[in-house]
Chain A
Amino acid sequence: MARRTPLNEAHRKLGARMVDFVGWDMPVQYSSIIEEHEAVRTAVGLFDVSHMGEVEFRGPGALETANRLISNDLAKCADGQAVYAGLLNEQGTFVDDVVAYRFSPEHIFVCVNSSNREKDFAWMSERAQGVKPVDRSDDFAQIAVQGPKAPGLVQRLTKADLSKVGTYRFTEGEVAGVKCIISRTGYTGEDGFELYCAPNDAEKLWNALLQEGQTDGVKPCGLGARDSLRTEMKYALYGNDIDDAHTALEAGLGWIVKLDKPGGFIGKEALEKQKAAGVKRKLVGFEVTGRGIPRHGYPILKNGQRVGEVTSGTMGPSVKKPIGIGYVPTELAAEGSTFDVEIRGQPVTAQVVKTPFWKKP
């Protein structure tokens, strides 16, 4: 029996098409993926992301404990700031990718992928030197409000001054009378917020956002649009683009790896070695210039030889081109390099391009 978020009934009432997503019964689309995608690029879309997990570190030493578990550096953050980070294995490969929130040095909150909730919590519990993590996943629902009209919409429903909440900053306050963590983060490439609230309040918050957002052209959006939006930004998806077989450097996520942070982190030594030796493969973004759409798992070929694999691919609804992400040998990773993607047995030409694929006009 698939797990359900507190918004499951609400999705069904809205006519969503539901699918099993890593053990969760989730909406993949309501009307059309392209329409939902466009709503986020031009107006505002709502996503139920309550299936995501949350882990909390509280008490003296919380910052030091959490910071040793993640690749980015929370010590350099101010209170009220969040960072994107890797939870890395000793080999420098991914256990997960997370967003870590610094409420204070004694209160760190980490949002993890739904597919990795149990694994991450066990992993953190084993390795936490100091404060023990607490799994708070069942205490939070989460709604992402994304798009150029998202700030205006959320602002009309809260007394918190959102102009003071910059990108990757957060505050606490009531939205539509519901107590929330209001975080200026997202996974779509658009401005917006991720709102964490109590599960019992989720439907009230969801309905208020839908109601108030009518004038903005708000649309409920499913996992389909979430995937096409994030692919156009080349945001990594755990299990597709990043996993425990590829390092953070290979994934092009060197920017979330702070090799020089005091106290270090798990995976640091492996990444230092890899950096010194040179990274042999890289995750690149490419456009298919021939006919066809690249998909997860399709082989990447050079001169007929398999040299890599597509990790994500779609027809980008905003870029209006078939785009893909995949690992290739470093010598093929430069912008302009060409290779073939094997699409149902046929080699189709593709070219490495600058990412993100989508840039705001």
Chain B
Amino acid sequence: MADVPQNLKYTQEHEWIRVDNGVAVVGITQFASNQLGDVVFVDVPTVGKTVEAGDSFGTVESVKAVSELFAPVSGKVVEVNSELEVSPELVNEEPYGDGWIIKLQPSSPKDIDGLLSPAAYADLIKQEQEG
């Protein structure tokens, strides 16, 4: 069973989000990184770009497949994880830690409350595994 930390919020598209001092850190879940397999490339927007909730803001690629990244909430990109350029495998190894992908300044921080709770996300991946 994939790890679903209790201190995060989640999306249907398997991103997680955590707010640190008003800035939202975004990554993909361990379940998503397991499904994808060995991550070999991460493509992210440039700092300063604005993204809309639900829009594709980049891609994560494994040897075999390309997966879109979807913005959990609207906001401005304030930082990207440049470590992933040289070590994309961090997304597999530490999806909730050093494998984070971007940091967003949310345009409406309360939107984060509407995302999936850990329990709801755990249910979602259970359904996907059984499906």
Which of A's residues lie within 8 Å of B, judged by CB? 28-29, 32-34, 37, 224, 227-228, 291-293, 295, 314-315, 317, 322, 344
Contacts and interface: CB of A to CB of B under 8 A. Distances in A.
A33 B35 CA distance: 12
B79 interface: no
A29 B40 contact: no
Contact of B37 (A224, A227, A292, A344): A224
A230 B66 CA distance: 19
B43 A292 contact: yes
Contact of A344 (B40, B59, B63, B64): B59
By size class, the interface of chain B is 10 to 19
A33 B38 contact: yes
A110 B38 CA distance: 35
Nearest to B92: A32
B63 A292 contact: no
Nearest to A295: B66
A228 B43 contact: no
A92 to B, nearest CB: 32
A227 B38 CA distance: 14
Nearest to A314: B63
Kindly name the residue among A291, A292, A293, A314 whose own CB sees the greatest number of chain B CB atoms within 10 A.
A293
B61 A315 contact: yes
A37 B62 CA distance: 13
A293 B40 contact: yes
Nearest to A344: B59
A317 B89 CA distance: 12
Contact of A224 (B41, B43, B63, B66): B63
B11 to A, nearest CB: 20
Interface in B107-121: none
Interface string B50-86: 0000000001011110100000000000000000000
Main SS at interface, chain B: strand
A227 B64 contact: yes
Contacts of A314: 63-64
Contacts of A292: 41, 43
Contacts of A33: 37-38, 62-64
Given A293-B41, A315-B40, A315-B41, A28 B64 contact: yes
A349 to B, nearest CB: 15
Nearest to B41: A293
A11 B33 CA distance: 22
Given A34-B38, A315-B41, A322-B41, A293 B64 contact: no
A292 B59 CA distance: 10
Contacts of A224: 37, 63-64
Contacts of B66: 293, 295
Interface string B5-44: 0000000000000000000000000000000011011010
A17 to B, nearest CB: 8
A345 to B, nearest CB: 11
Contacts of B63: 33-34, 37, 224, 228, 314-315, 317
Contacts of A28: 64
A361 B63 CA distance: 22
A33 B34 CA distance: 12
Kindly name the residue among B37, B38, B61, B63 whose own CB sees the greatest number of chain A CB atoms within 10 A.
B63
Contact of A32 (B38, B43, B59): B38
Contacts of A227: 64
Contacts of A32: 37-38
24 contacts: A28-B64, A29-B37, A32-B38, A33-B37, A33-B38, A33-B64, A34-B38, A34-B40, A34-B63, A228-B64, A291-B43, A292-B43, A293-B40, A293-B41, A293-B61, A293-B66, A314-B64, A315-B40, A315-B41, A315-B61, A317-B40, A317-B63, A344-B43, A344-B59
